[in-house]
């Protein structure tokens, strides 16, 4: 057992009202580390933090502090302190008494409390605010008091729940720097929850990317950015072009209709993969010699430091490219991608695959309803089967009632020439769809599987 590890989450799970919000979370947090739990809202990051703080009890799994299980220890006996999203400063106490609250409970001598409160106020640049009413403070000042109130107790671990979410951009940037300085100065372990990927990249030693109650990837910011392990992480962290590709052999991959050299090995031959190209990693030039493929500039927008361009490639894909130079809209450009800049990821799935049951020669039961399926004739009623539907064979319709199943567009990914959607059905099943049509996140849709497009496979 590693002595460095302060907190270890082991197989944590939690559900609310039958809905699984955390599923088998495993994470080791080292002493003095700045760990960020990053993900979209509802991904389980705040739940994880609340489990560590002790406000929630896990349904399964363990939370170890220095190797000892603290799952049953109430929050007031855990050596952690929290900075709450809405600060939760006590409105009936002034700044001084808010900060001294924890120390008074610990029966620290008055002069020592006084010394520590003043020192921490100085650290968060709030000296002379001792007797101010907390409600008379600005958002940024309240934030500082909230941080001071937590840090003054010298916790083993500081938990921060989206502490900067309510501040404006400029203030947020300033506080990020200050938080990082405090972390370096105090050496306390920080566990930070945010949905802001830039904040996570700026602050963290380790980023833990979460989605739908699972940890997708954990690692330092550079590796998370450069080597995302799946399309969700690539899309969530920074800007990226995510494309369908095919691994031809080791160190050789095909995408955008061309073959490229790459550095990845061990995928096998002719295996479908996802390819991530960061927009700043595409080299764009006026001349075509020396380029790997060509394209036409469709739009060019100044973004401060760089220009952001959308380029239609010669094989009909769209690429986002960032460069310090502007290229004229309509001009033909040469494009080049270096082997090192190609990030190849195994596809999580290549088609939809569901558990289903044969009803009769023409129907199967899927997600609890009966739908037509020509292939059912080959099986006997009652047989359990895997029903498979290609991504591009799923039909989406505008009105939920026109579909065999009602769903909601949950996540979308642009793949250069089409969209890859994740649709969440009413019963919580996932259906993945490739489509040329434009849908938005949150759109309510009907999902149809045409009888002839459902392939069946016996389950042994």
Binding residues for other proteins (CB under 8 A): 53-55, 74-77, 80-82, 84, 86, 88-92, 101-102, 105-106, 149-150, 153
**CB closer to other proteins, 142 vs 211:** 142
- Tokens encoding 158: 């500081």
The least distance separating other proteins from the CB of residue 102, rounded to whole angstroms, comes to 4
Give the containing element (helix H, strand E) for 246: strand 241-249
319 DSSP β-pair partners: 311
**CB closer to other proteins, 161 vs 323:** 161
**CB closer to other proteins, 149 vs 172:** 149
The least distance separating other proteins from the CB of residue 103, rounded to whole angstroms, comes to 9
d(CA 347, CA 399): 30
**CB closer to other proteins, 18 vs 330:** 18
The least distance separating other proteins from the CB of residue 48, rounded to whole angstroms, comes to 16
**CB closer to other proteins, 19 vs 92:** 92
The least distance separating other proteins from the CB of residue 14, rounded to whole angstroms, comes to 17
The least distance separating other proteins from the CB of residue 116, rounded to whole angstroms, comes to 14
**CB closer to other proteins, 74 vs 428:** 74
Residue 350: count of CB within 10 angstroms of its CB? 13
**CB closer to other proteins, 133 vs 427:** 133
**CB closer to other proteins, 158 vs 243:** 158
d(CA 235, CA 23): 22
The least distance separating other proteins from the CB of residue 114, rounded to whole angstroms, comes to 18
**CB closer to other proteins, 98 vs 217:** 98
The least distance separating other proteins from the CB of residue 188, rounded to whole angstroms, comes to 15
DSSP 136: G
d(CA 230, CA 217): 9
d(CA 279, CA 161): 31
* C-alpha closest to that of 83 among 171, 184, 152: 152
Is the CB of residue 431 less than 8 Å from the CB of residue 394?
Answer: yes
Output the DSSP codes for 190-239. Answer: EEEEES-HHHHHHH-SEEEEEETTEEEEEE-HHHHHHS-SSHHHHHHSS-
The least distance separating other proteins from the CB of residue 55, rounded to whole angstroms, comes to 6
**CB closer to other proteins, 11 vs 104:** 104
**CB closer to other proteins, 105 vs 377:** 105
> What 3-state DSSP class applies to 415?
coil
Output the DSSP codes for 265-301. Answer: --S-SSEEEEEEE-GGGEEEES--TT-SEEEEEEEEE
Burial per residue of 30-40, b for 16 or more beta-carbon CB atoms within 10 angstroms, e otherwise: ebebbbbbbbe
The least distance separating other proteins from the CB of residue 75, rounded to whole angstroms, comes to 4
Is the CB of residue 449 less than 8 Å from the CB of residue 394?
Answer: yes
**CB closer to other proteins, 8 vs 153:** 153
Output the DSSP codes for 352-407. Answer: EEEEEEEEETTEEEETTEEEE-GGGGGS-TT-EEEEEE-GGGEEEESSGGGSSEEE
The least distance separating other proteins from the CB of residue 80, rounded to whole angstroms, comes to 7
Angstrom CA distances, 82 to 9, 132, 160, 191, stand at: 18, 22, 6, 9
The least distance separating other proteins from the CB of residue 147, rounded to whole angstroms, comes to 13
d(CA 363, CA 35): 50
Which residues touch 28 (CB under 8 Å, ≥6 apart)? Answer: 2, 5, 7, 8, 9
Is the CB of residue 213 less than 8 Å from the CB of residue 23?
Answer: yes
The least distance separating other proteins from the CB of residue 90, rounded to whole angstroms, comes to 6
């Amino acid at each position: 057992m590693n002595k460095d590890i302060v907190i270890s989450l082991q197989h944590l799970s939690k559900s609310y009202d039958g809905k699984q919000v955390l599923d088998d979370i495993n994470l080791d947090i080292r002493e003095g580390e700045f760990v960020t739990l990053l993900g979209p809202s509802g991904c389980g990051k705040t739940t994880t933090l609340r489990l560590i703080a002790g406000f929630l009890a896990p349904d399964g799994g363990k939370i170890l502090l220095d190797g000892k299980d603290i799952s049953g220890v109430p929050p007031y006996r855990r050596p952690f302190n929290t900075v709450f999203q809405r600060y939760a400063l006590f409105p009936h106490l002034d700044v001084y008494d808010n900060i001294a609250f924890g120390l008074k409970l610990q029966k620290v001598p008055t002069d020592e409390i006084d010394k520590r409160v003043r020192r921490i106020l100085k650290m968060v640049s709030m000296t002379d605010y001792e007797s101010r009413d907390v409600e008379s403070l600005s958002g940024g000042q309240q934030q500082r008091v909230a941080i001071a109130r937590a840090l003054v107790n010298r916790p083993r671990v500081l938990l921060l729940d989206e502490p900067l979410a309510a501040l404006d951009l400029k203030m947020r940037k300033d506080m990020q720097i200050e938080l990082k300085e405090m972390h370096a100065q105090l050496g306390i372990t920080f566990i930070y929850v945010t949905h802001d990927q830039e904040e996570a990249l700026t602050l963290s030693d380790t980023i833990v990317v979460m989605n739908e109650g699972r940890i997708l990837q954990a690692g330092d910011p550079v590796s998370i950015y450069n080597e995302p392990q799946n399309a969700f992480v690539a899309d969530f962290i920074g800007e990226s072009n995510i494309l369908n590709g095919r691994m031809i052999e080791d160190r050789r991959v095909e995408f955008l209709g061309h073959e490229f050299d790459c550095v990845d090995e061990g995928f096998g031959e002719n295996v479908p993969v996802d390819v991530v190209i960061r927009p700043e990693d595409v080299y764009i030039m006026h001349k075509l010699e020396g380029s790997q493929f060509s394209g036409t500039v469709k739009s060019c927008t100044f973004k401060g430091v760089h220009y952001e361009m959308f380029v239609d490639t010669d094989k009909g894909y769209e690429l986002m490219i960032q460069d310090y130079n502007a290229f004229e809209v309509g001009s033909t450009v040469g494009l080049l991608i270096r082997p090192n800049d190609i990030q190849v990821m195994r596809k999580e799935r290549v088609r939809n695959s569901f558990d289903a049951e044969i009803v009769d020669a023409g129907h199967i039961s899927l997600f609890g309803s009966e739908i037509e399926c020509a292939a059912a004739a080959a099986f006997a009623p009652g047989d359990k089967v895997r029903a498979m539907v290609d991504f591009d064979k799923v039909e989406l319709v505008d009105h939920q009632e026109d579909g065999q199943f009602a769903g909601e567009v949950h996540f979308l990914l642009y793949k250069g020439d089409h969209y890859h959607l994740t649709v969440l059905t009413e019963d919580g099943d996932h259906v993945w769809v490739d489509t040329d049509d434009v849908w938005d996140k949150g759109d309510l849709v009907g999902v149809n599987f045409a009888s002839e497009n459902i392939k069946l496979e016996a389950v042994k």
